[in-house]
Amino acid sequence: MKNFSDIPDQVSGESISNNTVEKMGLSWLIIAAIATVVLWQFPWGDYILYPFTILATWFHEMAHGLAAIILGGNFQKLLLYPNGSGLARYTYTGSLFLGPIGRALVAAAGLMGPPIAGALFIIASRKFRHAHYSLIFLGGILLLSVFLWVRSLFGIIAISLLGITILIIALKSPKWLQGFAIQFLGTQACISTFHQLDYLFTHSVTIAGRDMLSDTGQIAEQLLLPYWFWGSLIAATSFMLLVQSLRIAYRQ
């Protein structure tokens, strides 16, 4: 069996999907994704999968904040709590670009941004060079977010540890492990939409003692059609992104 740790750097751009990752990776990714989604639906599941719960929340809240910046808003801070919940605080200075559509896009970004990024990470795993730099990019963004936006003590500690761990994997681990790691993290990003499946089909929620609209509730307020329609559409799209990105990554 070919081992990427034994392959010279000058051929490190060749496809990862024809070695160890292909033979075992896909099965493990599917099993891990199903197990993660199922366990997340139970109150104790968040604690069994604690690092991935925190990462899912970070993906979600960062996507809200970055979408607000892109559309003309101001990403003020990101709060993460020990129970796995989080909150992105952003404001609209003046009129947000695209008005109601822009506000709906910011709300949808928390649900759709992570699956899009995750699908790109999975596709990047086809070549070692891309997988390597994707890990560095993700670890770097985690640490950068601590300096720029994360403002809760728990969040600063947790996100710093996650960022450092991912950078260590990128810089110190064998090449096959880096390929599998970026696929696994990409899969986690894709399924972060399903962290709390009922959240997709809830109009309003309570976070940190505050009653507020859910993301799908905010989309419904800005656009036509009820919140459950948007929840169904987002769930189906997230699933298809995961399936199609894995098909591309493991295509011969």
Show the DSSP H helices in 12-96 as ranges: 20, 26-40, 45-48, 50-70
Is 83 a domain residue?
A: yes
Is 14 a domain residue?
A: no
DSSP letter, residue 174: -
Give the residue-averaged pLDDT of 203-213.
79
Is 67 a domain residue?
A: yes
Is 171 a domain residue?
A: yes
DSSP letter, residue 1: -
pTM score of the predicted model: 0.86
Give the residue-averaged pLDDT of 194-198.
84
Q: Do residues 135 and 122 make contact, with C-beta atoms less than 8 angstroms apart?
A: no
Is 174 a domain residue?
A: yes
| Tens-place pLDDT, residues 105-118 | 999 999 999 999 99
Number of domains in the chain: 1
Give the C-alpha separation, 10 to 77, whole Å. 42
Q: Take residue 116 and report the two structure tokens written for it.
A: 């899009």
Predicted pLDDT at 100: 85
Is 8 a domain residue?
A: no
Q: Which domain holds residue 42?
A: 29-249
DSSP letters spanning 92-107 = ESSSPTTTHHHHHHHH
The partner residues of 127 in beta bridges, in order of sequence, read 15
146 compared with 5, residue with greater pLDDT: 146
Is 10 a domain residue?
A: no
Q: Minimal CA–CA distance to 208: which of 146, 151, 149? A: 151
Q: Do residues 61 and 76 make contact, with C-beta atoms less than 8 angstroms apart?
A: no
Predicted pLDDT at 22: 62
Show the DSSP H helices in 173-225 as ranges: 175-191, 215-222
| Tens-place pLDDT, residues 6-34 | 334 443 444 544 555 465 578 888 898 99
Predicted pLDDT at 47: 86
Is 15 a domain residue?
A: no
pLDDT higher than 90, residue 233: yes
Longest dimension (CA), the chain: 59
